[in-house]
C-alpha cells in the first residue's frame, strides 16, 4: 500500500477515534445530569435548566461554572443547609413554583457575594428565619406564599432586598389579628409593629411572673412569722402552768430566745 494511502487511512482512523471519544464524553456528561435537566448558554452566561423535571430535591450534579440555574416548577419541599455551596459563579437562581415550605439557615451559604437574583415565589413558605438570608445581596422575590404575618416575617422583610414589583404579592394568609388576613404585608406594617406588640406581651408576662414570685415570698414570710408567734404563745401558756420558780426561769429563757 502506497505511503500516501497509509497516511490517509491513519488520519481517518484518528479522526474517527477522536469523534468517538468526544461522543462518549458527551454521553457521559449527559448521563450525569438528572433527567429533564440540560446545560445551555444564554446571552453569554452558562445556564442549567431543570424546569418541570419532577425534581424532589436540589440536584447535586450541577456544573460548578453555572451562572443561571432554573429549578422552577418542580416538587422540591425544602432547601437544606449548603444546598448551593458548589456554585461559586451563580448569578441567578429560580426556585419558583415548587412546594418549598422550609429554608434551613445556611441554605444559600456561598452565594452572598455574587448572587443577584433569587426567585422563591409561588411556594409554601409560611415562616422563615431572617438568618436563612444572612448577608445575601440578591433581589429576592417572596410573593405568592401563604405567609403568617408576625414579627418573624417583619424581621425577614427588613433583612432582604425585595425584587422590584414583588412586595405587593407578600400577603397575609394568617395572622393573630383576623383583620390582617388577605392584606398586603407592607400595608399592614404601615400601621402595626408586630415586633413591638410581641415585646410588650413579653414584658407583661415577665412582670406577671415576677409579681407571682414576689407574692409567694411575702406569703412564706408572713406564714413563717405567724408560725413562730403561735409556737411562742403556746410555750408561754405552757410555762404559766408550771410552778412559779421553774416558770420564772423558763420565761426568762423563752424571752431571751424570742428576742
Q: What is the pLDDT of residue 83?
A: 95
In a domain, 136, yes or no: yes
Distance between CA atoms of 186 and 180, rounded to whole angstroms?
11
**Same domain, yes or no: 205 and 185:** no
Question: Measuring CA to CA, how many Å separate 2 from each of 13, 14, 16, 47?
Answer: 17, 19, 21, 50
> What is the value of pTM for the model shown?
0.66
In a domain, 19, yes or no: no
Residue 140 burial (CB < 10 Å; 0-12/13-18/19+)? buried
Instruction: Provide the β-strand partners of residue 140.
Output: 118, 162
Q: What is the pLDDT of residue 53?
A: 96
Q: What is the pLDDT of residue 33?
A: 82
**Same domain, yes or no: 109 and 221:** no
Distance between CA atoms of 198 and 81, rounded to whole angstroms?
29
Q: What is the pLDDT of residue 191?
A: 87
Q: Give me the domain span that covers residue 94.
A: 32-192
Q: What is the pLDDT of residue 112?
A: 85
Q: What is the pLDDT of residue 60?
A: 87
In a domain, 54, yes or no: yes
The pLDDT tens digits along the chain (259 residues) read 565 555 445 554 554 544 544 443 443 444 478 889 999 999 899 999 999 999 999 998 899 999 999 999 999 999 999 999 999 999 999 999 999 999 999 999 999 889 999 999 999 999 999 999 988 999 999 999 999 999 999 999 999 999 999 999 999 999 989 999 999 999 999 889 999 864 444 444 454 455 555 556 666 566 666 666 666 666 566 656 656 555 455 555 554 444 4
**Same domain, yes or no: 154 and 110:** yes
Cβ atoms 161, 132 nearer than 8 A: no
Q: What is the pLDDT of residue 23?
A: 43
- Which CATH number is 172's domain given? 3.80.10.10
**Same domain, yes or no: 101 and 185:** yes
Distance between CA atoms of 95 and 124, rounded to whole angstroms?
12
In a domain, 184, yes or no: yes
**Same domain, yes or no: 186 and 201:** no
List the strands of the sheet with 45-49, edge to edge: 38-42, 45-49, 68-70, 92-94, 117-119, 139-141, 161-162
In a domain, 205, yes or no: yes
Beta strands in the chain (DSSP E): 38-42, 45-49, 68-70, 78-79, 92-94, 102-103, 117-119, 139-141, 147-149, 161-162, 172-175
Among 161, 158, 123, 128, which Cα is nearest to 143's?
123
Q: What is the pLDDT of residue 140?
A: 98
Q: What is the pLDDT of residue 203?
A: 44
Distance between CA atoms of 120 and 112, rounded to whole angstroms?
16
Amino acid at each position: 500500500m502506497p505511503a500516501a494511502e497509509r497516511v490517509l487511512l491513519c488520519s481517518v482512523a484518528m479522526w474517527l477515534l477522536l469523534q468517538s471519544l468526544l461522543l462518549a464524553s458527551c454521553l457521559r456528561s449527559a448521563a450525569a445530569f438528572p433527567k429533564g435537566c440540560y446545560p445551555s448558554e444564554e446571552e453569554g452566561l452558562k445556564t442549567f435548566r431543570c424546569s418541570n423535571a419532577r425534581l424532589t430535591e436540589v440536584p447535586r450534579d450541577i456544573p460548578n461554572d453555572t451562572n443561571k440555574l432554573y429549578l422552577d416548577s418542580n416538587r422540591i419541599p425544602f432547601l437544606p443547609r449548603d444546598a448551593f455551596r458548589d456554585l461559586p459563579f451563580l448569578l441567578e437562581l429560580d426556585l419558583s413554583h415548587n412546594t418549598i415550605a422550609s429554608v434551613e439557615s445556611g441554605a444559600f451559604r456561598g452565594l452572598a457575594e455574587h448572587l443577584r437574583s433569587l426567585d422563591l415565589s409561588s411556594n409554601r413558605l409560611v415562616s422563615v428565619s431572617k438568618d436563612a438570608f444572612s448577608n445575601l445581596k440578591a433581589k429576592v422575590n417572596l410573593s405568592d406564599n401563604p405567609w403568617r404575618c408576625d414579627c418573624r416575617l417583619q424581621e425577614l422583610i427588613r433583612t432582604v432586598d425585595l425584587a422590584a414589583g414583588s412586595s405587593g404579592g407578600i400577603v397575609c394568609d394568617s395572622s393573630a389579628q383576623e383583620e390582617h388576613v388577605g392584606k398586603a404585608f407592607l400595608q399592614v406594617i404601615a400601621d402595626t409593629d408586630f415586633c413591638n406588640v410581641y415585646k410588650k406581651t413579653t414584658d407583661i408576662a415577665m412582670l406577671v411572673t415576677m409579681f407571682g414570685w414576689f407574692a409567694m415570698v411575702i406569703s412564706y414570710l408572713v406564714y413563717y412569722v405567724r408560725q413562730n408567734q403561735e409556737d411562742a404563745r403556746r410555750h408561754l401558756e405552757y410555762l404559766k402552768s408550771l410552778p412559779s420558780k421553774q416558770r420564772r426561769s423558763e420565761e426568762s429563757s423563752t424571752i431571751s430566745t424570742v428576742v
